[in-house]
Structure 1
Amino acid sequence: MPAITVADWTALPRVTAATAQTEDRAVVSITTAPQGYEGEGFPVRRAFAGVDPARLDPFIHLDQMGEVEYAPGEPKGTPWHPHRGFETVTYMIDGVMDHQDSHGGGGSITDGDTQWMTAGSGLLHIETPPEWLVRSGGLFHGLQLWVNLPRADKWKPPAYQDIRGSDVGLASSPDGGALLRVIAGEVDGVTGPGSTHTPMAMVHATLAPGAELVVPWRTDFNALVYVMGGDGYVGHDRRPIHTGQLAVLGHGESITVGASSGQESRHASLDVVVLGGLPIREPIAWAGPFVMNTKAEVMQAFEDFQKGRLGTIPTQKIPHGDVSGEIR
């Protein structure tokens, strides 16, 4: 995984070592993400499938995109589609993704970059691999996280943050066996560049075989650990966890993650994303690309989209058929 790294992890700031008095978060559940397809047909793992939404709040949805090696002509993206009422966080680990919206925003992300899009009151958006990558093929791997917005922020104007991999906050475990990349929020004094409407933290951690990481964590945040690749354990009771699994943790002051001494050939280390946020605790009505507080607001979003109020794409027809979904 070519996300940002440094040659000597031990030269980085160290997270505080846990003490015997620290309350470590116990595992509430471990689930395995089902696999499916998104957009024009790229493979995904649905990390939050089957998890109690109250345990996820303020997060809505998490897809692991890939990991897949495309042959020439195979790379795929998403067609134009609308969003309203939440934020999408796209973290690219391998490959390149171009993005563009109906407000004139856009850019490219690759190798540890993050595109943080606040949909707010609504916009149209597209994500595609660049033409040269379609011609050549190559490795594609990333994450897309959906973060809910509080009622007061759902109608704010759309906004972008393009976060370069070189801008993330870096730290290591006390023994130097784990590297932390803080994308958003703050972990033991190390701050990520992502600006969030809802207080939260997002960390990509890489653990060398046999290493253990104990991360100090805000007690008012929830805590989720998703394995992007590798084998290891979570919690002081060392519950086994592997690629494509999500651990939901209970209350506490720290999160323990460890890497197995032996890793499979495809993954030289254990890579996890650690998420936590302050629960919003508001009603959620969710259908397709719209996350609102009431069913009436979702139906209004569909109507606004159909009538072109979320924006238009010059000289290009918008595919209305890709936004259906059950209101939840």
Structure 2
Amino acid sequence: MPAVTVENLLSLPRLPEPVAGVQDRKVLAVETAPSGFEGEGFPVRRALAAIKPEYLDPFVMMDQMGEVDYAAGEPKGTPWHPHRGFETVTYMIDGVMEHLDSNGGGGTITNGDTQWMTAGAGILHKEAPPEWLVQQGGLFHGIQLWVNLPGAKKMIAPKYQDIGSTSVALLSSHDGGALVRLIAGDLAGNTGPGSTQTPITLLHATISPGARLTMPWRSDFNALAYVLSGRGTVGTERRPLVSGQLAVFDGFGDRPGLTTAGETITLSAKDTMEVIILGGRPIGEPVAHYGPFVMNTRAELVQAFEDYQAGRLGSIPAA
């Protein structure tokens, strides 16, 4: 159960009712996310791993962390590691995570909070459950998304945004069948609190059994939907979509005269469906990605590793 819920959805601002004649994007592909382990050994599903990179731009990767109910002594995190050239977005649906960085920043995110880190020119970073959670165990569930930066912004100064759960824009579908938590970007005239270097929209929707969520979507953005839990269908063609699967909508870039409005995307739930929906304006630049660095060229990757080894991305603070 997501931490951020609303008793009466019809008390929220509503998304517009679908209008006849507005084009609904078709579904290009549905793929199942492979499973793996990250950091010190916590389970993840690699939501974007089975999708061709040309359909993902400006996104690099997204991991679903958990959902897992840890026993005492089991919670794990990630040790100190570097980043350069992109932004990391950590959204805690349930549970608690502490973060620290080499610039002296840090904090705690829990139950619907989001930590938005612009790595930019480089930073050292650590994410881990607090000691009390390690000792007693507990629920852990979230996502981490990597958003690419254009070449002109890859070396900007690092910064954080801590986006509390109470600052997220809460919206209802037009009939009250779905709750939308808008974390970043614009949706039907509503704006999420996240400030993005690359134009994107990021939201978490809960769709009730039998309900349909139809949302207006920018024609210059790609569109992806990943199911955290539950099952339903996607698109007006009603392609099946279940937990751990990602749907890629078509439409971007294959028609002349693109505008920023005038299209929709649709999902329907058979039982309660939790889904992350995201899209962004493709950067359209070469991507050189290796480990914790996302640059434009191999030479820039080599430089990033050299800078990290020389301590130019920062140093681990004393305990």
Q: Shorter chain as normaliser: what TM range?
A: over 0.9
Q: Which letter maps to 1:30?
A: V
Q: Which residue of 2 aligns with 1:301?
A: 304
Q: Indicate whether 1:253 and 2:263 are aligned.
A: yes
Aligned-partner Cα distance in 2 for 1:27–1:158: 36
- Following the alignment from structure 2 to structure 1, what is the Cα–Cα distance between the partners of residues 147 and 35? 21
Can you list the C-alpha shifts for 1:146-189, whole angstroms capped at 9, x where unaligned? 00001111000000000001101111111101000100001001
Give the secondary-structure state (helix, strand or coil) at the position aligned to 1:62: strand
Q: Hey, what does 2:60 align to over in structure 1? A: 60
**What is the number of equivalent residue pairs in this alignment?**
309
Contact 1:99-1:126 at 8 Å conserved across structures = yes
Q: Distance in 2 between matches of 1:17 and 1:239?
A: 22
Counterpart secondary structure, 2:24? coil
Aligned to 2:157: 157
Q: CA deviation at 1:125?
A: 0.1
What secondary structure does 2:23 align onto?
A: coil
Alignment of 1:1-328 (within 5 A): 1-251=1-251, 253-260=263-270, 263=271, 269-315=272-318
What's the RMSD between the two structures over aligned residues?
0.9
How many angstroms does 1:38 deviate by?
Answer: 0.2
| Structure 1 counterpart SS, 2:156 | coil
Contact 1:170 1:190 survives alignment (8 Å): no
Instruction: Report if aligned partners of 1:27, 1:250 keep a CA contact under 8 Å in 2.
Output: yes
Q: Which amino acid aligns with 2:279?
A: G
The answer on whether the counterparts of 1:220 and 1:278 sit within 8 Å (CA) in structure 2 is yes
CA contact (8 A) 1:58 1:280 kept: yes
Once the two structures are superposed, residues 208-250 of structure 1 have per-residue CA deviations (whole angstroms, 9 ceiling, x without a partner) of 1111000100010000000011001100011000100000001
- Cα distance, 1:315 vs structure 2: 3.5
Q: Residue 256 of structure 1: SS of its match in structure 2?
A: strand
1:231-278 deviation digits (Å, cap 9, x = unpaired): 011000110001000000011711101100xx3xxxxx2000110000
Deviation for aligned residue 1:6: 1.7
Which 4+ stretches in 1 moved above 2 angstroms?
A: none
Please list every run of 5 or more consecutive structure 1 residues that lacks an aligned counterpart in the other structure.
264-268, 317-328
- What TM-score comes out, normalization by structure 2 length? 0.96
* CA apart distance, 1:85: 0.1
Q: Residue 314 of structure 1: CA displacement?
A: 2.9
| 8 Å Cα contact 1:222/1:277 also seen in 2 | yes
Measured in 2, the distance between the counterparts of 1:2 and 1:281 equals 35
Bigger drift between 87-96 and 14-23 goes to 14-23
The offset of 1:50, in angstroms, is: 2.0
Give me the TM-score of the superposition, normalised by structure 1: 0.93
Contact map agreement 2:104 2:317 (CA 8 A) in 1: no
Cα distance in structure 1, aligned partners of 2:93 and 2:134: 17
| Separation in structure 1 between the aligned mates of residue 19 and residue 318 of structure 2, nearest angstrom | 61
- For residues 187 and 318 of structure 2, the distance between their equivalents in structure 1, rounded to whole angstroms, comes to 46
Percent identical pairs in the alignment equals 64
3-state SS in 2 of match to 1:19: coil
Contact 2:88-2:147 at 8 Å conserved across structures: yes
CA contact (8 A) 2:102 2:316 kept: yes
Tell me how far apart the structure 1 counterparts of residues 112 and 295 of structure 2 sit (CA, whole Å): 30
Counterpart in 1 of 2:256?
none
The Cα of 1:132 is off from its aligned counterpart by 0.4
